[in-house]
């Protein structure tokens, strides 16, 4: 901070530019305007009230600091001097917008008032001087509408309803067709409405309007949708918003006036060409709200070639200055271009990658910048599926492809329905004529969004792109009937609860669930990832249980398998009977006999995976699940036996069921998660691990015989005590020696353990005596550390915990730094103290989560392992962690 | 160690005494003998082979180190010179005993051979010289019997059966009546038996006998019962045994000869008077084995006044020397007293306390010695119940009270039955004619032991006293029939599985379960505990849920209540209906209504407890159990509904049951231990904690109004994250303020948390921001740290883990130092860093376990809380920890 506390931080754009203020003081919007002033671009006159003032306001229990009003007036007087217009002067009236602007982008979340300074006198004056009564009263009603809603708290829909009524009465198809006298009537009606609802008149003194507006903008920092947005995007509550007072320019003045938004590059594809849309005879709100469908920016080239040329030139200058793609707002007043905003443009994953890679070749940024600039979560979008293009399914409708990825789900129309469906694990598509900021919860809860109105920069489009959700907007053939809970395309009716599929990459909408295909990585993604590979220290592995997934993981760049689960090898339909017989055996001999029957199948499974990875390390986890998981469930058997008992049917059948029930009861557990499973089963039933190990070593030694390279790691789950690992390791070593003796071929292998109980982490120094490697099983480790059973917690109270901020994140998604990661750090340190070359990785789901990967990098893991589809994300996240680590190291020197 | 490695450590008793060797080299028996030599007491000549030789023997894969035999022979030659007798010389034969003796007492666990040096020639020589053929051949057969069993590995029962056969044939009622020629015949038969069974003759060369015997004694270190004993008493496997070669003296020589054992004080009561028994015309084995019932030591005063007087004098000298009660073995040969052993005497809890307190007043030891000398576990015996003396139940039989405490259980006759009953949670009484060292597992598994033979120093008596189990021995009216699995007293038949009660304090045996009374603390116990109170740093509290238990805890010296569970306040029969209705409510309003109904009852509960503790701190834990615990169980409801469905009975009833089932399914959890419980329920149902807190504060404020002092601590369970505690604390604070407002009386209180999830411990620094105190809930903390569900683990594989040494202890009984205690230590440190005055205690079951209490002392807890009956144990253990800590601190200076 360059400011002294107590000084009233209210600056003209020019002064702010000279003082070199940054985004944290000016907010995003103010900063963009001030930087454009610095570059000499055409920006209206303006004043910025810094975020510090907002914080003072709240610290002051919601009142302006002493001298605040005077200072504001002083700065407005400077604006008047510069523009030659005067606030409240009917002859040369200065109108201003009062705009919010936080340091972090929160599009549409906070309030803005346009055309402030409008009074009865000013309206008359404008009508006289511009000789356009229609423009004067359209502008007045716009002021009343926003001021009434934002400042006087009148329900916005009442204003719209009044306009609709007038249009209906006069047959006007759009705002443009509403006449001057009709607008004049509407102005009277709006004033009456505000008086009726709020008990007060809209003040006719412009300064009074201004202070009320500033207060309302400050207050909007804490409105519910802004709070919700900050929760989702993890923005601190303490930041506050700046307020910009900007001279109005009028896109609604005449036919040579317009307003629009444009990106310096295509935010959907990343192509290097101006991209955007505009509305003639409109003000900014009309574009963003998606009320009228705007024209593509290319049309502007013909309509206003000079303004268009100016915009193209400005786009290039802004990119050169900010070194990133910009999202601009502009207004053309009588053919003259005015810049109203510039900010870093939100973009799709594809665009993010392409822009980043292109900018490196253009010499604008370095490789490390490119890597830092792509959100790993965004990259993940590129790995979303799309509707299989080979399928010849006819779409029900086609809209504007607004956010890529394909999604299927049940149709919902209300946010609450999306939320409750998500809680019960059901996928939904939120369908709406258009979305508004208050729909953020519904969007977050659904798989995708479909709207019948709006363009690529409409609310739905911007928000879903940020969240990486599929979105189709402006599908105009769709008629949404919210009241009846259905939508129609011609004669086809789709009701709430019906399943639809949307493809945000193509804009297609389908009825029912449509086949999708897996994504492939584009050359630019591969370029970016190859840069990432050169920078990251963490190795990336994948979790895969079969040859197909192993091959897919390699294709995505996995450098090994970090977790092969062996449960499915027992539980798949062709083996379940044998596995059950094994479990139900009453003697070890019987069990061993059944295991012998299973062994050849297990061996083939292992061969397939090892072959697919051909020399890359493969970590095979021996059986982890409790044995009862392979048996019929109690809640099926119990009623069945009860029913048979009443019916006194086939006695033999009943007896068999009863025996089975008896055994299932015997094996059932109160808390299976912490019961007889993992290495504990091997302690009581060593023959189980023997059989698995034998199958693994036979597979490996046959492959070695065939010339396939094998890098084998055998992992023991659920270890809580070093002696368990020692005993399990002895079983594995014995089978390895036995296989070597029989085949005459030595297979090199490592034995290690999942660190997934807190005690394994706490006693890692001892555990490492028997471990060649550790792999953190952070799913179970998180459960035990919190004593939260994931099965019971996620459905029941995790949502409540997150919304009440009892936890900042779902710890099953992002590693808990204070608890779980602390344990991990201790384990890494103690383990390596015992054994300096201990290899340490992670194979819980956190291994694919970017923020968790950063933690893994920081605490010195050797690798992360995640699902095959997350491998590219992990490669990028690992590189970002390395870049960040380097920056921190160099800044702390 | 004063010895150089490689030197053969074989010494005469005199040399060992001069060198000042200690128990670790000489073993317990050798040390006692050598010390007695030092004091000039009458000890036969002897040689001790140190434990180092045993370790060399095993390190040398079971062979004597070079020069070993020569050195042994050299030392035996010295014995011959001292005694004037010669090994193998028929005229003046030296016979010796070869006795094991480890540094730790392992009574009867290892082997001993008596009368070694006996050959055909020597037997003839003795018969001639002593002119007593009967003595010569009785002695020879004794040698053959032990040597045959221990060295030549012939089943000992075969020798006994042969003697029984002869006795039966001749009508002899005891060994004493067997004639010389019969013994001679037995000797021949024994030699033949050994040859037949082992394929070898007993060597006639005494040196050869000697080396074989030494080897056998070494080997007996690893016999199964010795290993089992070491496991139970936590003795290291690496210690090894010493071997003592001692000149034989003959208690079986004539009528003025005898053998016996005596304690310097009464090991049962601690009274300061010689206590013991002896057998005329017998050797030591006869007494210990309990084969003949011996005479009380007082009889010796008349029979051999000189020897008796000698023994009394020696007892006093030994106590003065060893500063502790001694357990002596002696033999009288022709009226002359010989001391064969002295060691610290095992004693009952009562005796341990009384001896320790008496010795302080006698000036023999200091208070701290007295405290260190009573095992807390032993003290626990004094808190065992006894059969209610006011009951006028006639005992079925009366035996010798051998180990105090009363116990009821099902009769078992086999060790395996006791073990399997224990596993299924059933109490047993092991009934036997007499017990032998191999019965150690059965004794450990049963609640008490009843034998029909043997005295107070018999195997059963010694072992049960050590274990603190009830024991009655020598109940001669009981006829045990092992084959038919029953015992009889006159016409009463008690079968395996029938319930009996024994009182080891009185010796009474009852059929069925007999009412028992709670123990009271004797004045000497109170003296000892008052010393302990002066020394300990830890405060002692009790866990109590009602006024009765609270009062009992205070009587035992509790300084507060560390845990009042509130579950029973909802679950007791008069409230369950209301509680269930509350849980089944679908709205918060309904729930609050039912809670209002419960509140007056809760308030009375709290008043009762707070009143009983009158100003001592009382920690009340708010509801911890998941709500479904108060509902009917799924496995009752499911078959019930299934049955009703088949029967299509009362439709209304079925529907009601179905609704209930639905709700129970909804509330049921996969892993309830880690589910929706504790503070998590309060986050979703705050009204529950509100109601509890309101009841507490109303209770407290009414009491304060009545002039009762109240020191209130409210504890929040299951916290995993500081924000949970913060939110729960807000509920409590709100109710406190509300109650204060209503009553006009401020009640001071603290709010703290159970630390029972690993994460609470890991984030203790943060949690302490909202906690006035921590109380470690080590039951749950142990579960989560190990990821062991106690319910599932203890029945299923804990026994396996302990017997396979995968774990040294059951971590649910003794705090796991490496994992759980490490977490606790971190939490104490981090918590106090945030808040220096943080009060920290423990309320898990470990709070009453002496070794856990030592850990709690060491990591700086303020208090431990345990069940009321464990309070005295905890007071003592806390003092011992303080003494130990002081010693360690001073020795590390």
Judged against a pLDDT cut of 50, whether residue A4 lies above it is answered with no
pLDDT digits over A459-475, tens only? 788 778 657 689 999 88
Catalytic positions of B are 459, 843
pLDDT digits over B65-109, tens only? 999 999 999 999 999 999 999 999 999 999 999 999 999 888 778
CA distance B801 to chain A (A): 8
Catalytic residue among A338, A459, A685, A846: A459
Binary contact (A789, B669; C-beta < 8 A): yes
Binary contact (A763, B818; C-beta < 8 A): yes
* Torsion of the alpha carbons at B193, B196, B202 and B208, rounded to the nearest 10: -150
Which of the two residues, A576 and A143, has the higher pLDDT score?
A143
According to the per-residue pLDDT averaged within each range, which of A379-393, A635-649, A725-739, B799-813 is highest? A725-739
Q: Cβ of A658 under 8 Å from any chain B Cβ?
A: no
pLDDT digits over B416-468, tens only? 999 999 888 899 999 998 887 678 889 989 999 999 987 766 778 877 865 76
Whole-number pLDDT of residue A861: 98
Whole-number pLDDT of residue B795: 61
From chain A residues 812-871, the ones with a CB under 8 A of any chain B CB are 816, 818-820, 822-823
**Average confidence (pLDDT) over B770-782:** 97
Q: DSSP string spanning B39-100?
A: TT-----EEEE-HHHHHHHHHTTS-PPTTHHHHHHHHHHHHHHHHS-BTT-SSSB--EEEEE
Residues of A with CB below 8 A from B766's CB? 818
CA distance B806 to chain A (A): 5
CA distance B879 to chain A (A): 29
Q: Cβ of B604 under 8 Å from any chain A Cβ?
A: no
Judged against a pLDDT cut of 60, whether residue B292 lies above it is answered with yes
Question: Which of B665, B758, B769 to probe the A interface (max A CBs under 10 A)?
Answer: B758
Residues of B with CB below 8 A from A683's CB? 797, 800-801, 804, 806
pLDDT digits over A751-800, tens only? 999 999 999 999 999 999 999 999 999 999 999 999 998 878 866 788 78
Which of the two residues, B238 and B382, has the higher pLDDT score?
B238
Strands of A593-650, DSSP E: 617-621
Residue A172, classed as helix, strand or coil, is: coil
Binary contact (B669, A640; C-beta < 8 A): no
Judged against a pLDDT cut of 90, whether residue A361 lies above it is answered with yes
pLDDT digits over B674-698, tens only? 989 999 999 999 999 999 999 999 9
Whole-number pLDDT of residue A1: 37
Q: Cβ of B720 under 8 Å from any chain A Cβ?
A: yes
Helix B588-613 crosses helix B573-584 at what angle (to 10 degrees)?
A: 150
Segment among B436-450, B715-729, B816-830 with least mean pLDDT: B436-450
Residues of A with CB below 8 A from B720's CB? 785-788, 819
**Average confidence (pLDDT) over A22-51:** 96
Nearest to A762 among B647, B766, B818 (CB): B818
Binary contact (A674, B669; C-beta < 8 A): no
Which of the two residues, A340 and A174, has the higher pLDDT score?
A340
Query: Which residue has tokens 């900007």?
Result: A246
Nearest to A818 among B647, B762, B793 (CB): B762
Measured between CA atoms, the residue of chain A closest to residue B723 is A806
Confidence of residue A584 (pLDDT cuts 50, 70, 90): confident
pLDDT digits over B511-538, tens only? 999 988 777 788 999 999 999 999 999 9
pLDDT digits over B387-412, tens only? 886 777 889 998 888 877 899 999 99
ipTM above 0.90, yes or no: no
Q: Cβ of B671 under 8 Å from any chain A Cβ?
A: yes
Binary contact (A675, B640; C-beta < 8 A): no
Segment among A303-312, A413-422, B221-230 with least mean pLDDT: B221-230
Tell me how far apart the alpha carbons of residues B530 and B523 are, in angstroms, rounded to a whole number.
10
Confidence of residue A2 (pLDDT cuts 50, 70, 90): very low
Confidence of residue A291 (pLDDT cuts 50, 70, 90): low
Nearest to A763 among B675, B721, B819 (CB): B819
Question: Which of A725, A728, A758, A809 to probe the B interface (max B CBs under 10 A)?
Answer: A758
Residues near B601 by beta carbon (within 8 Å), at least 6 away in sequence: B569, B574, B575
Nearest to A676 among B720, B759, B792 (CB): B792
Helix B778-786 crosses helix A778-786 at what angle (to 10 degrees)?
A: 180
> CA nearest B528: which of B872, B883, B884?
B872
Binary contact (A762, B805; C-beta < 8 A): no
Percent of chain A with pLDDT over 90: 67
Percent of chain A with pLDDT over 70: 97
Confidence of residue A288 (pLDDT cuts 50, 70, 90): low
> CA nearest A874: which of A542, A645, A644, A382?
A542
Judged against a pLDDT cut of 90, whether residue A215 lies above it is answered with yes
Whole-number pLDDT of residue B404: 78
Nearest to A674 among B783, B805, B820 (CB): B783
**Average confidence (pLDDT) over A223-241:** 85
Nearest to B806 among A671, A723, A787 (CB): A723
B/e letters for B723-753, b = 16+ CB within 10 Å, e = fewer, are bbbbbbbebbeebbeebeeebeeebebebbb
Residue A580, classed as helix, strand or coil, is: helix
Binary contact (B786, A647; C-beta < 8 A): no
Whole-number pLDDT of residue A649: 64
Judged against a pLDDT cut of 80, whether residue B330 lies above it is answered with yes
The number of beta carbons lying within 10 Å of the beta carbon of residue A843 is: 28
Confidence of residue B723 (pLDDT cuts 50, 70, 90): very high
Chains A, B: CB contacts under 8 A, how many? 211
Residues of B with CB below 8 A from A785's CB? 720, 757-759, 762, 784
| Phi then psi dihedrals of residue A264, to 5 deg | -70, -25
Whole-number pLDDT of residue B649: 64
Contact by Cβ (8 Å): A127, A145: no
Judged against a pLDDT cut of 60, whether residue A110 lies above it is answered with yes
Confidence of residue A819 (pLDDT cuts 50, 70, 90): very high
Nearest to A784 among B723, B784, B791 (CB): B784
Q: Cβ of B648 under 8 Å from any chain A Cβ?
A: no
DSSP B153: -
**Average confidence (pLDDT) over B818-830:** 98
Strands of B179-265, DSSP E: 242-247, 258-263
A155-A191-A47 Cα angle (round to 5)? 80
| Phi then psi dihedrals of residue A686, to 5 deg | -60, -25
> CA nearest A96: which of A220, A179, A211?
A211
Residues near B286 by beta carbon (within 8 Å), at least 6 away in sequence: B175, B259, B279, B292
* Mean pLDDT score across all residues of chain A: 91
Confidence of residue B1 (pLDDT cuts 50, 70, 90): very low
Active site (annotated) includes residue A670: no
Cα–Cα distance list, A156 to A145, A153, B547 (Å): 7, 8, 63
From chain A residues 678-707, the ones with a CB under 8 A of any chain B CB are 680, 683-684
Instruction: Name the token pair of B760.
Output: 């609470």
> CA nearest A423: which of A444, A448, A394, A449?
A444
Question: Which of B627, B674, B681, B722 to probe the A interface (max A CBs under 10 A)?
Answer: B674
Which of the two residues, A177 and A811, has the higher pLDDT score?
A811
**Rg (alpha carbons) of chain A, rounded to whole number:** 33
Residues near A755 by beta carbon (within 8 Å), at least 6 away in sequence: A719, A761, A764, A767, A774, A775, A776, A777, A781, A824, A827
Strand partners, B334: none
Whole-number pLDDT of residue A892: 62
| Phi then psi dihedrals of residue B276, to 5 deg | 170, -165
Residues of B with CB below 8 A from A641's CB? 639
* Mean pLDDT score across all residues of chain B: 90
* Terminal Cα-to-Cα distance of chain B (whole angstroms): 22
> CA nearest A572: which of A602, A613, A612, A603?
A602
Which of the two residues, B690 and B797, has the higher pLDDT score?
B690
Strands of A482-545, DSSP E: 486-489, 492-495, 499-503, 508-511, 516-517, 539-543
CA distance B39 to chain A (A): 48
Whole-number pLDDT of residue A517: 77
Cα–chain center distance at A292: 28
Confidence of residue B291 (pLDDT cuts 50, 70, 90): low
CA distance B646 to chain A (A): 6
CA distance A570 to chain B (A): 22
From chain B residues 776-815, the ones with a CB under 8 A of any chain A CB are 780, 783-789, 791-793, 796-797, 800-801, 804-807
Residues of B with CB below 8 A from A816's CB? 759
Strands B839-842, B499-503: parallel, antiparallel or unpaired by DSSP? unpaired
> CA nearest A522: which of A715, A352, A343?
A352
Confidence of residue B719 (pLDDT cuts 50, 70, 90): very high
Tell me how far apart the alpha carbons of residues A377 and A468 are, in angstroms, rounded to a whole number.
8
Tell me how far apart the alpha carbons of residues B674 and B75 are, in angstroms, rounded to a whole number.
68
Tell me how far apart the alpha carbons of residues B448 and B467 are, in angstroms, rounded to a whole number.
10
Judged against a pLDDT cut of 70, whether residue A456 lies above it is answered with no
CA distance B663 to chain A (A): 14
Residues of A with CB below 8 A from B670's CB? 672-673, 789, 791-792
pTM, full prediction: 0.78
Tell me how far apart the alpha carbons of residues B194 and B149 are, in angstroms, rounded to a whole number.
9
Binary contact (B757, A785; C-beta < 8 A): yes
pLDDT digits over B253-275, tens only? 999 999 999 999 998 789 999 99
CA atoms within 13 A on the CB side of B825: 14
Catalytic residue among A471, A843, A856, A866: A843
Whole-number pLDDT of residue A3: 41
Contact by Cβ (8 Å): B863, B841: yes
């Amino acid at each position: 901070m360059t400011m002294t506390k107590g000084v009233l931080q209210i600056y003209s754009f020019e002064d702010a530019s000279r003082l070199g203020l940054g985004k944290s003081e000016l907010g995003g919007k103010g900063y963009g305007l001030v930087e454009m002033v610095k570059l000499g671009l055409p920006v209206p006159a303006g004043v910025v009230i810094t975020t510090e003032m907002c914080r003072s306001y709240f610290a002051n229990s919601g009142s302006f600091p002493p001298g605040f009003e005077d200072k504001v007036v002083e700065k407005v007087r400077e604006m008047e001097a510069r523009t030659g217009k005067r606030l409240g002067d009917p002859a040369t009236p200065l109108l201003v917008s009062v705009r919010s602007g936080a340091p972090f982008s929160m599009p549409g979340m906070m309030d803005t008032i346009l055309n402030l300074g409008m009074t009865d006198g000013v309206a008359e004056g404008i009508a006289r001087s511009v000789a356009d009564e229609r423009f004067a009263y359209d502008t007045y009603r716009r002021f009343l509408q926003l001021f009434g809603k934002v400042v006087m708290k009148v329900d916005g829909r009442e204003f719209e309803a009044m306009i609709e009524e007038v249009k209906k009465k006069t047959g006007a198809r759009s705002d443009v067709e509403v006449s001057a006298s009709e607008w004049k009537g509407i102005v009277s009606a709006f004033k009456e409405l505000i008086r009726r609802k709020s008990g007060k008149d809209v003040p006719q003194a412009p300064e009074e309007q201004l202070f009320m507006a500033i207060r309302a903008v400050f207050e909007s920092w804490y409105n519910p949708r802004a709070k919700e947005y900050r929760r989702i995007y993890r923005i601190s509550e303490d930041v506050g918003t700046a307020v910009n007072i900007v001279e109005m320019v009028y896109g609604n003045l005449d036919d040579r006036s317009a307003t629009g938004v444009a990106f310096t590059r295509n935010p959907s594809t990343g192509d290097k060409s101006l991209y955007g849309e505009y509305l003639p005879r409109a003000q900014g709100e009309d574009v963003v709200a998606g009320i009228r469908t705007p024209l593509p920016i290319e049309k502007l080239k013909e309509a206003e070639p000079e303004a268009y040329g100016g915009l193209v030139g400005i786009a290039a200058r802004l990119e050169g200055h900010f070194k990133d793609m910009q999202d601009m707002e502009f207004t053309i007043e009588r053919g003259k271009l005015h810049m109203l905003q510039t900010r870093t443009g939100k973009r799709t994953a594809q665009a993010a990658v392409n822009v980043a890679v292109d900018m490196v070749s253009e010499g604008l940024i370095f490789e490390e910048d490119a890597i830092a600039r792509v959100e790993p979560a965004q990259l993940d979008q590129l790995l979303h599926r799309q509707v299989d293009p080979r399928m010849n399914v006819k779409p029900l409708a086609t809209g504007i492809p607004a956010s890529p990825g394909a999604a299927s789900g049940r149709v919902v129309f209300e946010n609450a329905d999306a939320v409750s469906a998500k809680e019960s694990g059901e996928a939904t598509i939120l369908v709406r004529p258009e979305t508004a900021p208050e729909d953020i919860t519904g969007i977050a809860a659904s798989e995708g969004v479909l709207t019948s109105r709006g363009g690529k920069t409409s609310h739905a489009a911007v928000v879903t792109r940020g969240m990486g959700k599929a979105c189709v907007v402006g599908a105009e053939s769709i008629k949404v009937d919210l009241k009846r809970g259905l939508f129609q395309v011609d004669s086809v009716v789709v009701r709430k609860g019906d399943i639809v599929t949307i493809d945000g990459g193509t804009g297609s909408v389908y009825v029912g669930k449509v086949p999708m295909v897996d994504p492939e990585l584009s050359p630019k993604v591969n370029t970016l990832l190859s840069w990432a590979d050169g920078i990251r220290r963490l190795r990336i592995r994948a979790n895969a249980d079969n040859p197909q997934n192993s091959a897919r993981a390699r294709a995505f760049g996995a450098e090994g398998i970090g977790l092969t689960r062996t449960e499915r090898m027992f539980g798949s339909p062709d083996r379940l009977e044998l596995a059950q017989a094994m479990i139900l055996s009453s003697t070890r001999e019987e069990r061993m006999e059944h295991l012998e029957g299973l062994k050849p199948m297990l061996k083939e499974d292992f061969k397939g995976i090892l072959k697919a990875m051909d020399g890359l390390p493969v970590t095979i986890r021996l059986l982890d699940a409790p044995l009862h998981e392979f048996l019929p469930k109690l809640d099926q058997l119990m009623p069945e036996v009860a029913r048979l008992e009443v019916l006194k049917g086939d006695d033999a059948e009943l007896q068999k069921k009863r025996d089975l029930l008896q055994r299932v009861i015997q094996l059932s557990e109160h808390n299976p998660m912490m019961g007889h499973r993992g290495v504990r089963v091997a302690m009581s039933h060593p023959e189980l691990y023997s059989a698995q190990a034998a199958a693994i070593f036979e597979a490996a030694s046959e492959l070695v015989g065939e010339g396939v390279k094998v890098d084998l790691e055998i992992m023991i789950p659920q270890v809580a005590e070093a002696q368990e690992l020692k005993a399990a390791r002895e079983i594995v070593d014995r089978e390895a020696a036995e296989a070597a003796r029989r085949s005459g071929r030595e297979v090199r292998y490592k034995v290690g353990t999942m660190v997934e109980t807190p005690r394994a982490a706490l006693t890692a120094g001892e555990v490492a005596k028997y471990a060649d490697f550790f792999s953190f099983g952070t799913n179970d480790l998180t459960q035990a550390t919190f004593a939260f059973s994931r099965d019971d917690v996620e459905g029941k109270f995790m949502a409540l915990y997150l919304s009440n901020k009892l936890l900042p994140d779902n710890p099953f998604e992002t590693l808990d730094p204070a608890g779980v990661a602390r344990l991990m750090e201790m384990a890494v340190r103690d383990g390596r103290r015992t054994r300096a070359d201990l290899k340490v990785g992670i194979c819980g789901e956190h291994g694919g989560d970017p923020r968790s990967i950063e933690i893994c990098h920081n605490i010195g893991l050797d690798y992360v392992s995640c699902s095959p589809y997350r491998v590219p994300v992990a490669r990028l996240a690992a590189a970002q962690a390395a870049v960040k680590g380097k920056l921190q190291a160099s800044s702390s020197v």
